[in-house]
Amino acid sequence: MPSTNAVDLAAHPLTAWRGPLGLPDFAHIGDGDFSAVFDAALKAHEAEIDAISSNKATPSIENTLAALELGGEALDHVSSIFWCRAGAYTNETIQALERDISPKMSRHFSAISMNEKLFARIDDLYQRRESLNLDPETLRVLEKTWKGFVRSGAKLDADGKTRLAKINEELSSLGTTFGQNVLADERDWALFLDEADLAGLPDFVKSSMAEAAEMRGRKGRYAVTLSRSIYEPFTTFSERRDLREIAYRAFTMRGQNGGASDNTSVVRDMLKLRAEKAKLLGYASFAALKLDDTMAKTPKAVHALLDPVWERALEKAAADQKELERLAAEAGSNEKFAAWDWRFYQEKLRAEKFAFDEAELKPYLQLDRVIDACFDVATRLFGITFEEKKGIAAWHPDARVFAIKNADGSERGLFLADYFARPSKRSGAWMSALKSGYKLGHGSKPVIYNIMNFAKPPAGEPALLSVDEAKTLFHEFGHALHGMLTDVTWPSVSGTSVSRDFVELPSQLYEHWLTVPAVLEKHALHVKTGKPMPKALLDKMLATRTFGAGFATVEFTASALMDMAYHARPDAPEEPLRFEAETLSTLHMPDTIAMRHRTPHFGHVFAGEGYSAGYYSYMWSEVLDADAFAAFEETGDPFNPALAERLRKNIYAAGGSKDPEELYTAFRGKMPSPAAMMVKRGLV
């Protein structure tokens, strides 16, 4: 491996992006390149920070705040490629690098946030902010930067700073370990079946399982994996109760199987360190620290949303379970109704109530047509268009590249998408950016990507999605639009750089357009006949939108309440998994429903800080998204041009340039109550 001194950051393909369309030249990037380039980029950024902090001139927006925002470009470039690879296409080399780089990055950014001379310059600007005649966005960036330094320990004494830096470094390493352990359990477990074991499974599930088995070297067999795109339909349709139980237990025990990939001690150590960090910074709990910069502000406000929803969800789930137990008894089952029975009998109940089998929808939800629907809605709402660019190398052959254009034909940026599950990709779905869009300095056009985990079909066959998967695609594309449409000056408030409980609004709101009849009529075409979804089937699908609300709301809200239970206390539980069981017992959690994310694999909360003390934010944003789409429904036009323009300007384009309440009120005229969300979920 070349030495750090040998790396030319101005020419290396990891930092100087000279591939097609201004992308990194992925074809010339090797796993062995990252370490030396990271070291060189960290050193270069340290020199930039030193130049800013040592500047003898009076602090100004240009020589301090703007210099800080625009610094570290080489580090941004190599980081964005590396973390994309670590999530979407990893291997042992990348994972070893991740374990090495995570603490290095933590040390680097701790040193910046605790740099006394740098903070003195930021503090000088902050104290003079009223006399600097700043525009609102610049003032907000200055205030957020100052608060960020303080929340990162800038005002601690020397011992406090040293301890906080050590805590952050340990948390970074533990978060990496947590994520890698979950990936190992998901990668290493598969249940291989034969044709005789497939009773009840529709062809699309069999096809996905056959492909998954072949990917694992078992051609001719069928594999149940722990990817949701296989696990959920298998447990929904399989008539083999014994196999459903095996799959359920494996899925819910990810990260808790003993041995090297067990996350029990990782969670314990993370919770202790987070509690210590909060205390060091003067907060009553880690939740108080994390919520300080959100719309909710306090754990009490979070509970004011979650607790009433929880009570309604428990009532709904209990009523639904009686119906499911009836169906099980009628089918001749003498077994006690269990968690691995819920999806199976819920699908039977759907068929009974609505004469509707969700498998009927699959042929109408081809992946490529759902992608087209995403693009079409964006064009109708916001005027942007998408053109696929074939033959351009990205991080994996499955990743696709699209050029984005404004209504006037000018270039807006790039969108990359990687849709299929594979053992080298962590589970779930997410959006991120190789580059953010902003106007400061020379400016930057956004390069945004989506990652999914849909089951890959055999060669030559189209990928078919479930309704939930199609919603996931729309959801992540909503996040992508937040990054693509950004129209701000400062990088730190670009795109999705908003409070955690506001960031899900653009994504969850976008899901609503999937089920707009005009969208389905145009894009939900049968895979074989090309005919649109029959109105009768469409009506059934729309009628079932709130079906299963009890189950869905209990599994989500249990995870959100558990997250708050861990983080709203001033200390940390000695045995987190015992605390999980005790908390769920206190909440009267049904033993027939599992949390959507149990503690040992709750990546949102423990694979980094991401949604720690913040998983509630999906529901907080859901209050906003239900109200926001109601605005379109009130006009009778889901593509109302005047409303779409207000939506673009105040939500999708504004990033974090203003307070989220101010942005939402500018769009809607008022803040919402949870009522519309409760109705949307079918809990009222």
DSSP conformation letters of 26-95: GGG--GGGHHHHHHHHHHHHHHHHHHHHT--SPP-IIIIIIHHHH--HHHHHHHHHHHHHHHHS--HHHH
* 476 in catalytic set: yes
Mean pLDDT of 653-661: 97
What do you get for the CA distance between the two ends of the chain, in Å? 62
Separation between Cα atoms, residue 7 and residue 40, nearest integer Å: 7
Number of Cβ within a 10 Å radius of residue 253: 17
Render pLDDT for 181-233 as a digit per residue (tens, 0 to 9). Answer: 999 999 999 999 999 999 999 999 999 999 999 999 999 999 999 999 999 99
Render pLDDT for 233-280 as a digit per residue (tens, 0 to 9). Answer: 999 999 999 999 999 999 999 999 999 999 999 999 999 999 999 999
Mean pLDDT of 410-435: 96
- Out of 211, 469, 476, 580, pick the active-site residue: 476
pLDDT of 83 > 60? The answer is yes
Task: Name the least confident of 281-285, 540-544, 555-559, 642-646.
Answer: 540-544
The predicted structure's pLDDT at residue 277:
98
Give, in degrees to the nearest 5, the angle at Cα 200 between 195 and 205. Answer: 70
The predicted structure's pLDDT at residue 610:
86
Provide, rounded to the nearest whole percent, the portion of the chain with pLDDT above 90. 94
Are residues 450 and 621 in contact, defined by beta-carbon separation less than 8 angstroms?
no
Mean pLDDT of 451-470: 94
In angstroms, how far is CA 156 from the centroid of its own chain?
33
Mean pLDDT of 63-92: 98
The predicted structure's pLDDT at residue 550:
96
Render pLDDT for 11-45 as a digit per residue (tens, 0 to 9). Answer: 999 999 999 999 999 999 999 999 999 999 999 99
Are residues 431 and 506 in contact, defined by beta-carbon separation less than 8 angstroms?
no
Are residues 309 and 673 in contact, defined by beta-carbon separation less than 8 angstroms?
no
Are residues 482 and 430 in contact, defined by beta-carbon separation less than 8 angstroms?
no
3-state SS class at 325? helix
Separation between Cα atoms, residue 410 and residue 7, nearest integer Å: 35
The predicted structure's pLDDT at residue 680:
86
Nearest to 38 by CA among 94, 119, 111: 94
Q: Which residues contact 478 (CB under 8 A, 6 or more apart)?
A: 506, 507, 508, 509, 510, 511
Mean pLDDT of the chain: 96
Inter-axis angle of helices 241-252 and 228-237, to 10 degrees? 150
Are residues 207 and 639 in contact, defined by beta-carbon separation less than 8 angstroms?
no
